[in-house]
Amino acid sequence: MAVGPTTRRRQLGADLRRLRERAGLTLEEAGCLVGISKATLSRYETKDGTVKWPAVDALCRAYEAPEQERHTLVELAKGAKIRGWWRSLADPIPESMNLMLTLEDEVVREDHYACMYVPGLLQTRRYAEAVHRASEMRCTEQEITHMVDIRMKRQELLERDEPPHIWAVIDEAVVRRMVGGRDVMRDQLCRLLTRAGEPHVTVQILPFSAGAHAAAVGSFVVLGGATPELDVVYVDILGGGLFMEKQQELARYKLAFEYLRAQALDIEASVALLDQVCEGL
């Protein structure tokens, strides 16, 4: 299975392009200075494939990058092949999930819009099992357990000393849809209420009364990197997901999320609605 681009690799590509442009050099001119082809340098900057740290070091010197920045980029190049915890799993995982785990491992924020199910990072185990059983009808119990184990492992992201900020706008249909039965749903809503009380998690409910809204096409996540050029959008589609990183695509989904936040109930009203639905179960 192909390994998706790590955040380190993507950061390195963005920084190398920025330094070259600051130096006023074309790809061909910069490649000539360090003895690599235009095609190779283009690949270095497009965040795909492997890099050789001596070449990164030479490029930084050619671009007259400050000593500390050169050292930082060389270390990024050396660490670009480091694999996350999921790469050691005995059972294979879908390619789209591999890339999601790769990107999510180093995000600083995640903006979720959920129209079908509670976002995976906020799910209970029993709720996640019910979701997988419903959506993966041909999977065995062993396969379902494997996928749910990965989802639960992902949630350790929220227990880090400096966790990313999770902002979830959840359609009212999600909290009223009976997934797994009353007990499972009650536990799930309690988990949402608990998470909503944490400083790095924000939960808003988009009520039915909001009517038509900016994301009627489906659920999506904006994965926010340390810098804007590392942002990626993940869109749920049948049988997997679609990743987007072109500026026009990013801008469209970021704007949609801003509209959704504005249309949703405020935090206090959202908690009140969750309480109301929970008490009715």
Residues 6+ apart with CB under 8 A from 93: 86, 101, 150
For residues 221-247, average pLDDT: 82
Q: What pLDDT does 44 receive? A: 87
Is the pLDDT at 232 greater than 90, yes or no? no
Half-sphere exposure of 184 (CA within 13 A, CB side): 15
> pLDDT tens-digit profile of 24-39?
999 999 999 999 898 8
Nearest Cα to Cα of residue 62 among 30, 94, 21, 86: 30
Task: Give the whole-angstrom CA distance, residue 72 versus residue 246.
Answer: 26
Confidence band, pLDDT 50/70/90 cuts, at residue 4: very low
Confidence band, pLDDT 50/70/90 cuts, at residue 54: confident
Task: Give the whole-angstrom CA distance, residue 24 versus residue 26.
Answer: 7
> pLDDT tens-digit profile of 73-90?
888 787 666 555 555 455
Q: What pLDDT does 81 receive? A: 60
Confidence band, pLDDT 50/70/90 cuts, at residue 14: confident
**pLDDT-above-70 percentage for the chain:** 86
Where are the alpha helices (H) located in 24-50, listed in sequence order? 27-34, 38-45
Q: What pLDDT does 138 receive? A: 80
Confidence band, pLDDT 50/70/90 cuts, at residue 239: low
Task: Give the whole-angstrom CA distance, residue 143 versus residue 231.
Answer: 31
Task: Give the whole-angstrom CA distance, residue 41 versus residue 55.
Answer: 9
For residues 192-205, average pLDDT: 97
Count of C-beta atoms within a 10 Å radius of residue 171 = 23
